[in-house]
Every structure is written in structure tokens, then in C-alpha cells.
Amino acid sequence: MKITFLGTGTSQGIPVIGSSHPVCLSQDKRDKRLRVSILIEWDENVYVIDCGPDFRCQMLRANVSKINGVLFTHEHSDHTAGLDDIRPFSFQLGNVPIYAKKRVMENLAYRFDYIFNDENKYPGAPSVQQNIIENKEFKLNNLAFLPIEVNHGLLKIFGYRFNNIAYLTDVKTINIEEKEKLKNLDILIINAIRYKPHHSHLNLEEALALIEELQPKQTYLTHISHHLGFHEEVQKILPKNVFLAYDELVLEID
């Protein structure tokens, strides 16, 4: 299996438009972050978790020529606004399978009516195969995915566990029952937005406390804002098994 970090930034990305913050001016490639998303590849299968406004650039940058489907964590634009850009894959596949909880699918159908409304479908718009998922395991080809329901402020959203890997973004809190699903992880990917507390995201202190509680073998931090600081400096203060992810980082997993 291979996991590629397509984007590791917050909803604005880094650099932020018009910002003169030192991190936004950094020339270190690792400090330039598109909106958060990962690519998962195993056997002949290629899936994306979330497709935000940078989706087209991410697909070109990673040289992705096909996908089998898209999983959504929630409906916010930094995770969904690139849906229209699946059209080249739709031209290949026909209906591109998308997976989301019912609330998220309804939101997408409202915002992208010209894609979902068969009676008023815009010629050339992508076509999707809707798959409503609940908080229970489902399979994509030969791989089981287990949704992890987490709280993004007051909004309940999904992360996903597959094999001994978990991908969680936009987390603020996780209840005890859902934490049970996160035991014995080899790799945890989780958000850490900045040092200051945030109303709907883990800050670095909260993320490290959760990592200490869950005890994964390795952790990669994502959904990072410029306020967390320079990649090179932040990495130096992290525990030895915790890594600051960056765009185009690839994890090869046996």
C-alpha cells in the first residue's frame, strides 16, 4: 500500500493569499501546503479521501491518471469544492463512486445540483455513483474501511481506519466508543492546526495528548496552518515517533 499526502494545509492553504507571515514567505517546499487530502493506492486500486479546491493541481502534481472513487470526511468546502474536477475520471469510468454520510451527500447534491440532478444535468458535467455510508465497516474492493465518527466542533464527521492505519482530520474531540476503534494502530494521521486553542480543531498540545493516549506506532500531523511555524523547526520539538507531514510525502506500507 502507498499513501500520498496530496495536501496538508488548512482551509486557506499556505501561503495564505496576501499574507506576509514568515511561514507564508518560506522557500522551504515543505511549508507550502495545499488543502488537506490523501491518495491511497493498493493492488490496482486508487482512492482519494476528500477533494478540495486544489484537487486538479494535486492530481496533476501526483501524476494520477485514474481513481476508483472518492471518500468524504465532511461537507466543508476545503474538503469538497473540487468535486467538479473529477470529470476526466468520469469520462473514463462513467459514474465515479463517491462515499459519504447522508447529510454530506445531500449537501453535495444541493451545491452541485448540475451534477446530481439527472433531469437538469449540465452536458459535460461529471457523473457520480452515490454511496451513503453509515458508522459501520464497508469494503472497497478487498480492503475494509471503518468509519470513525469524530467531533469537528459541533459537527459530527467521519475519519477512516483501513488496515492498521487511521486518517482523521478536522478533529476536536472523539468519544470513548470511537476511540476503541483506534487501538493498535501502526500509523495515525491526525490534524494539529496551531499552538493556540481552536474551537473546532485540535491544537498541537491536544493532538500530542491524544497521540499519547492512543499510542500508535507512528503519527503524522496534517491540516496545519502557518501559525504552527516552519516545518524544520516544528519537527525538532516533536516526539521521536511523531512527524509533521508535508505535501507530496509518500508512505510505503508493507
pLDDT tens profile 18-68: 999 999 999 999 999 999 999 999 999 999 999 999 999 999 999 999 999
* In CATH, 2-252 is 3.60.15.10: yes
Over range 97-107, report the average pLDDT: 98
- pLDDT at position 95 is 94
**DSSP readout, 114-144?**
HHH-GGGPPTT--EEEEEE--SS-EEETTEE
- Give me the phi and psi of 109, to 5 degrees please: -65, -35
d(Cα 61, Cα 248) in Å, to the nearest integer? 8
- pLDDT at position 110 is 96
- pLDDT at position 186 is 98
The amino acid sitting at 254 is: D
Q: Which of 76-80, 113-117, 220-224, 240-244 has the lowest mean pLDDT?
A: 113-117
- What DSSP state is assigned to residue 200? S
Cβ 98 vs Cβ 69: under 8 Å: yes
Residue 93 clears pLDDT 90, i.e. is over it: no
Interior/surface letters 143-165, b for 16+ CB within 10 angstroms, e for the rest: eebbbbbbbbeeeebbbbbbeeb
Q: Is the peptide bond before 197 cis (omega within 30 degrees of 0)?
A: no
% of the chain at pLDDT higher than 90: 95
Over range 14-21, report the average pLDDT: 98
Its sign, for the CA torsion 56, 247, 154, 137, is positive
d(Cα 204, Cα 41) in Å, to the nearest integer? 29
Return the beta strands (E) in the chain as ranges. Answer: 2-7, 37-42, 45-49, 69-71, 95-100, 127-132, 138-140, 143-152, 155-162, 165-168, 187-191, 218-222, 242-244, 250-252
> Rounded mean pLDDT of the chain?
97
Over range 118-138, report the average pLDDT: 92
- pLDDT at position 122 is 80
d(Cα 119, Cα 219) in Å, to the nearest integer? 46
- pLDDT at position 92 is 87
The amino acid sitting at 208 is: L
Q: Which of 117-126, 129-138, 201-210, 227-236 has the lowest mean pLDDT?
A: 117-126
d(Cα 237, Cα 207) in Å, to the nearest integer? 14
Its sign, for the CA torsion 200, 245, 51, 142, is negative
Cell of 170: 478536522
Residue 120 clears pLDDT 80, i.e. is over it: no
pLDDT tens digits, one per residue of 137-161: 999 999 999 999 999 999 999 999 9
pLDDT tens digits, one per residue of 185-233: 999 999 999 999 999 999 999 999 999 999 999 999 999 999 999 999 9
